[in-house]
Structure 1
Amino acid sequence: MNPSDPPPAPRRTALADRAGYDEAFLGPVVPLPMPARSSVATVVLPYEHFTVVFRPDRRLAASTAVCIDGRELLEDVPRDDVWEYDPRLPAEQQAGEAVYVNNSLDRGHLVRRLDPVWGPAAVAARANTDTFHFTNAAPQADVFNQGKQLWQGLENHLLGHAADFDRKLVVLTGPVLHDSDPPYRGIQVPLRFWKVAAFLQDGALAASAYVLDQSPDLSRDSERALAGATPGAPPPLGPFRTYQVPVSDVAELTELEFGPLPDVDVMPPSRGPEERWRRLESYEDVVLHG
């Protein structure tokens, strides 16, 4: 390089210009999910079209929120696949590469890569890159099965039912951060993940909620399964099981505030506790009308 040439631009900016998630994207306000307890310290990190509510004590996100405009999604933006730390936080507060190297854990996107990739090409490319920050990842089993396939495609399925407002959708996602989550390489690995979608249905705000379970074995006590793990190895994670659940159950599991969404849940009230969680075997099992 000629000494007079300017230095190459950094691949990423300091993210200071990111506006993040728009709570009024749908019209009715859908607030960013925040901890119900003021004692839980979080940092709000805006990106392009999405925001991460981060918990430094767990080195993982408590919640994420993304605006999806189905009319403007760009599917030809190439994958970045280079994960970086968010420069707005100390690297030691983030679950970085050391958590994922030489093991069977995937860096599971919380905000799915393609969800914020819409709008003008430059904006979409920036959103694509923004999803590859460790603040937007959590450890997931690397197995691929029907449950994981359902989970990864839920947004596409829900967009097809969000036509009343120009195919706009808000998706809130995060891990269930529980005190009993198994420790591994300086973090605790979440065994469940949640997703709440908000959209307009017949002109009114509606919501549906889902839980992905990667507990080691639902047929026996999970603590026994975890206790039998090889020392130094990642916790044994089971196959992905996807459920549709009441929004109120997600609020209870996560101790997060979801504003009006529990009251506009499209899932009909259950007749008993055993019917509250609906195991999904295909998209046809999803309930989107009360």
Structure 2
Amino acid sequence: MIPSDSPRVGEATSGAASRDSLANRAGYDEHFLGVQVPLPMPSRPEVETVVLPYTHFSVVLRPDRRMAAATAVCIDGRRLLEDTPREGSWRFDPRLAESRQTGKDVYRDNSLDKGHLVRRLDPVWGKAAEANQANDDTFHYTNAAPQADVFNQGKELWQGLENYLLDNAARFDRKLAVLTGPVLHDSDPPYRGVQVPLRFWKVAAFIQDGALAATAYVLDQSPDLTRAADRALAGATPGAPPPLGAFRTFQVPVSDVVELTSLDLGPLPDADLMPIVRAPRARWMQLAAHDDIVLRRG
């Protein structure tokens, strides 16, 4: 449930019927795990955001970048509906002006994918009507960010993280709170009126041994700068999307996500299961398989 003192929800722009179509969404529940895991918000007060609640998740949108700074989803592993078909068409959220969202024009006639930030199946739990509504809600452009269309091992690892963490949390509590977003930097290459993020972050929170625990990850789609540095840093050539590289997935300290994003992640840095004291080269651990993930302290 979005608390009453949270930032305001964006106002609808296309009539009462459209406003009412999303009016009953409760959004991310920060007490879902039994301890408070707040919605991630920018630590700098001058950064404008709009909080958009959906079914079992919320989006913290940055209108200046026309995409999310963060998303947060509640996943109830025991109540997931795994056979929900992939049905849904991408559309604008009517509560916010279309000019403040990254829509179809950015993804048209190029190699960019609409990358779900909240993974489609993560909020799909509960009774059938509720689960189907959650599935449908994930297809708002506010829940997408441009990603390379290549599929490699790094992207496969990223897409399977929630399943892997749920499986490993089964003997403790099959609930997860997952926070995800793009790393929004001023140097991100511009394309068709938006800047394409080169990295994405994810922090998973869960209860382990009766206490809050967290792990953090970064997905990197930066290009090979030895061959494409000028074009990548200056933006794409006119009419062409920026060059993006093969996906690489890392487990990283939660505190590094805070530093990368300037987001307040509440108690999660202190709940991190990854040892903070590491040699600089090993501080970010590139994952070759899910079994490489550190899920126990010590």
TM-score by length of 1: 0.93
1:29 counterpart = 2:36: yes
User: Equivalences for 1:81-230 in 2 at 5 Å?
Assistant: 81-217=88-224, 222-223=229-230, 225-227=232-234, 229-230=236-237
Q: CA deviation at 1:288?
A: 0.5
CA distance in 2, matches of 1:185, 1:229: 10
Q: Is the 8 A contact 1:206 1:264 kept in 2?
A: yes
CA distance in 1, matches of 2:267, 2:234: 40
- 3-state SS of the aligned residue for 1:150? helix
The alpha-carbon distance between structure 1 residues 228 and 47, as it changes in their structure 2 partners (threshold 3 A), is closer
Q: CA deviation at 1:78?
A: 1.5
CA distance in 2, matches of 1:158, 1:218: 33
What are the superposed Cα offsets for residues 36-89 of structure 1, whole Å, 9 maximum, x if unpaired?
000000000000000000000000000000000000000121212400100000
Q: Which amino acid aligns with 2:125?
A: W
The alpha-carbon distance between structure 1 residues 56 and 228, as it changes in their structure 2 partners (threshold 3 A), is closer
- Mind listing any 5+ residue stretches in structure 1 that lack a counterpart? 1-9
Residue aligning to 1:272: 279
- Mind listing any 5+ residue stretches in structure 2 that lack a counterpart? 1-16
Q: CA deviation at 1:160?
A: 1.2
The alpha-carbon distance between structure 1 residues 281 and 40, as it changes in their structure 2 partners (threshold 3 A), is same
What are the superposed Cα offsets for residues 206-241 of structure 1, whole Å, 9 maximum, x if unpaired?
000000000011557845544484322000000000
Residue aligning to 1:40: 47
Q: CA deviation at 1:14?
A: 2.4
CA distance in 1, matches of 2:201, 2:73: 14
Q: Is the 8 A contact 1:181 1:190 kept in 2?
A: yes
Overall identity of the aligned pairs, in %: 73
1:243 counterpart = 2:250: yes
Q: Is the 8 A contact 1:71 1:166 kept in 2?
A: no
Q: Which amino acid aligns with 2:190?
A: P
- 3-state SS of the aligned residue for 2:243? coil
Q: CA deviation at 1:273?
A: 1.8
CA distance in 1, matches of 2:131, 2:124: 4
Q: Which moved more, 1:238-247 or 1:162-171?
A: 162-171
CA distance in 2, matches of 1:240, 1:218: 14
What are the superposed Cα offsets for residues 171-203 of structure 1, whole Å, 9 maximum, x if unpaired?
000000000000000000000000000001111
Q: Is the 8 A contact 1:14 1:88 kept in 2?
A: no
What are the superposed Cα offsets for residues 88-116 of structure 1, whole Å, 9 maximum, x if unpaired?
00011100000001000000000000000
- 3-state SS of the aligned residue for 1:160? helix
The alpha-carbon distance between structure 1 residues 221 and 250, as it changes in their structure 2 partners (threshold 3 A), is farther
Q: Which amino acid aligns with 1:274?
A: R
Q: Which amino acid aligns with 2:50?
A: V
Q: Which moved more, 1:190-199 or 1:160-169?
A: 160-169
TM-score by length of 2: 0.91
Q: Which amino acid aligns with 1:231?
A: P
1:69 counterpart = 2:76: yes
Q: Is the 8 A contact 1:164 1:203 kept in 2?
A: no
CA RMSD of aligned residues (A): 1.7
The alpha-carbon distance between structure 1 residues 134 and 283, as it changes in their structure 2 partners (threshold 3 A), is same
1:283 counterpart = 2:290: yes
CA distance in 2, matches of 1:276, 1:126: 40
Q: Is the 8 A contact 1:215 1:222 kept in 2?
A: no
The alpha-carbon distance between structure 1 residues 189 and 198, as it changes in their structure 2 partners (threshold 3 A), is same
Count residues in correspondence.
Answer: 281
Q: Which amino acid aligns with 2:267?
A: P
Q: Is the 8 A contact 1:164 1:202 kept in 2?
A: no
The alpha-carbon distance between structure 1 residues 100 and 119, as it changes in their structure 2 partners (threshold 3 A), is same
Q: Which amino acid aligns with 1:189?
A: V
